[in-house]
Amino acid sequence: MKNILLTGKPGVGKTTAIRRIVDELKANTTAGFWSTEIRENGRRVGFGIETLSGKTGVLAHVNIQRGPRVSKYRVNVEAINSIVVPELKAARESGKAIIIDEIATMELFSQQFLDEVNRCLNTKRVVGTIQYRRSHLLDEIKSRNDVEILELTLHNRDRIPTYVLGLLKQ
């Protein structure tokens, strides 16, 4: 089996597809995290982290004062290191399918995250999402021989979760 990473333009439904895949898998067969939007008064002000085991944190927010900047947000590298990295390590050690939503610019400010993602990919049990844009680190992950990249579009996004579930059952 290869690792399966979904990519696509922002807003196309990558996280929704991952959630549908997790919903269809048997309980207790997945571990990892996904990202959420933080909205106030109908406007996005940040991004949250939610682990499948129930831990939550702030990935990036307009009101964070320090940390790397991505657009109007500041990245909370400490939350990545203290919530996401241990969750991915536990997922890797559990033998479960590892859910990583997502591998992107914000998360890659954490070297610990990048190192753990690579360890997870070495297990060949990752189902995740990866940012559509190009960068050296993103391209390196996308070009791995043990990674299959599936591009979500408005036309195929409803079929991709079923396709991925079929791959996982092989």
Domains defined for the chain, CATH in brackets: 3-33+77-169 (3.40.50.300)
- pLDDT tens-digit map of 120-136: 999 999 999 999 999 99
**How many other CB atoms sit within 10 Å of the CB of residue 103?**
23
Q: Has this prediction a pTM greater than 0.85?
A: yes
Distance CA 55, CA 112 (A): 18
- DSSP label of 56: E
Between the alpha carbon of residue 15 and those of residues 4, 9, 10, 66, the distances in Å are 14, 12, 10, 27
> 27 near 169, Cβ under 8 Å?
no
What confidence category does residue 27 fall into, taking pLDDT thresholds of 50, 70 and 90?
confident
What confidence category does residue 28 fall into, taking pLDDT thresholds of 50, 70 and 90?
confident
141: tokens are 């992950």
